[in-house]
Amino acid sequence: MTVYCGIDWAERHHDIAVVDEHGQLIAKGRIGDDLEGFTTLVEMLAAAGDTADEPIPVAIETPRGLLVAALRASGRRVYSINPMAVARYRERYSVSRKKSDHADAMVLANILRTDIHAHRPLPADSELVQAVAVLARAHQDATWRRTRASNELRSLLREYFPVFLDAFVGRKGNLTSAEARAVLAIAPRPAVAAKLSRARIAAALRRAGRQRGVDGLAAELQQALRRPQLRQLPMVEDAMGTQALALLATLNVECASVDQLAEAVSAAFRQHPDHAIVTSFPGLADVTGARILAEIGDDRSRFADARALKAYAGSAPVTRASGRSISITHRKVKNDRLAAAGYIWAFVAATHAEPAKQHYQRRRDHGDRHPAALRNLFNRLLGCLHHCLATGQVYDPARAFPAPAAAYAPPM
């Protein structure tokens, strides 16, 4: 007898439903989110016929958490069902749209009973790549938070201190650079900045880590900060300066987090066997390569072919055809983290690698706009990466971007 299990996940408790191949309820229960609850779940599954050779598949609405980690460690196939899909399945069993935790657990179990072929279990990634995924996603989140904090600070400075922004415009890192943050810490208001001596600015630059050209940069910044500008009222300016210091403290924390996590994710990624293959591609170094590997994993059976991986990343186009109407658009339902990393990957490759640059330019000449051309390049590179990982080869630009065939010339 084939048995299926559905778990309605919640913060404090989880509802369990076990059904047979005919949809009949075999067992149900409610467990806590602790070791005792997991033990109860294992005993319930064992009573329903769970064995080491044929473990009962489990459907749940989340792909993460301690319960999911314990289920995956036990060797069971765990299916993460999108909550939106569960809501659609629920309408098959209840026209009145009633909802309860036990009913949702039944819906999840029946999803596997009827449509298990249409859903994929969570990949069997190695422990190392799961650790890389944690660090890579944390670094990506920290980078986004740093950008948000920098934009908030920039928006405030535009309101009362635009001269400071002009002093660092075009410099590497802009407000996120250690030099800009060090100078702003000692001069959060225009009145204070105009009185700064060259020695104080130089000392701030040295504290930020600058070693060369300190005196010249200090003189340049002193002159820039003393430029006349429009001013707020004195009390308003003081209040904005206090707010700027508060935002600067947040930005300092986020910059430190980005640097710390970058070192951790690079160290973990270098230990993975796929490091040499991934970093052989143009545009992929330790951090960006770790982001790519974190999202695709190292389970070679996860994607049936390169097309499945491209659809997962959102680089493959979507064709909608109905009657005589046909439209081809880009995917909006995708792995957003992988798509964001892919945009950076394609941009760097199109800037520094000649074959990738030529492919990008051909797409632009064909009529694609910049995002579409980068997406097409990412689609090409992702297919090459899938092939290299499957065969254990490193990147070869001659095979990835073969020379276009010469135009056919008819005989005279």
| Region of poorest pLDDT, from 92-101, 172-181, 291-300 | 92-101
**Fold entry, domain 3-118:** Nucleotidyltransferase; domain 5 (3.30.420)
**Residue 11 confidence (pLDDT):** 85
Question: pLDDT tens for residues 219-272?
Answer: 999 999 999 999 999 999 999 999 999 999 999 999 999 999 999 999 999 999
Task: With beta carbons less than 8 A apart as the criterion, state whether 67 and 7 touch.
Answer: yes
Is the pLDDT confidence value at 397 over 50?
yes
**Residue 411 confidence (pLDDT):** 53
> Model-level pTM?
0.89
pLDDT above 70 covers a percentage of the chain that reads 98
- Domain ranges in the chain are 3-118, 131-267, 276-400
**Residue 112: band (very low, low, confident or very high) from pLDDT cuts 50, 70, 90:** very high
Question: pLDDT tens for residues 199-222?
Answer: 999 999 999 999 999 999 999 999
Question: pLDDT tens for residues 341-394?
Answer: 999 999 999 999 999 999 999 999 999 999 999 999 999 999 999 999 999 999
**Residue 329 confidence (pLDDT):** 84
Question: pLDDT tens for residues 62-72?
Answer: 998 899 999 99
Task: With beta carbons less than 8 A apart as the criterion, state whether 263 and 98 touch.
Answer: no
| Burial class of residue 273 (count of CB atoms within 10 Å of its CB; 0-12, 13-18, 19+) | exposed
SS3 string of 82-133? CHHHHHHHHHHHCCCCCCCHHHHHHHHHHHHHHHHHHCCECCCCCHHHHHHH
The residue whose two tokens read 């299990």 is 5
Residues 22, 34: Cα–Cα separation, whole Å: 31
**Residue 407: band (very low, low, confident or very high) from pLDDT cuts 50, 70, 90:** very low
**Residue 410: band (very low, low, confident or very high) from pLDDT cuts 50, 70, 90:** low
Is the pLDDT confidence value at 52 over 90?
no
The residue whose two tokens read 């090409």 is 380
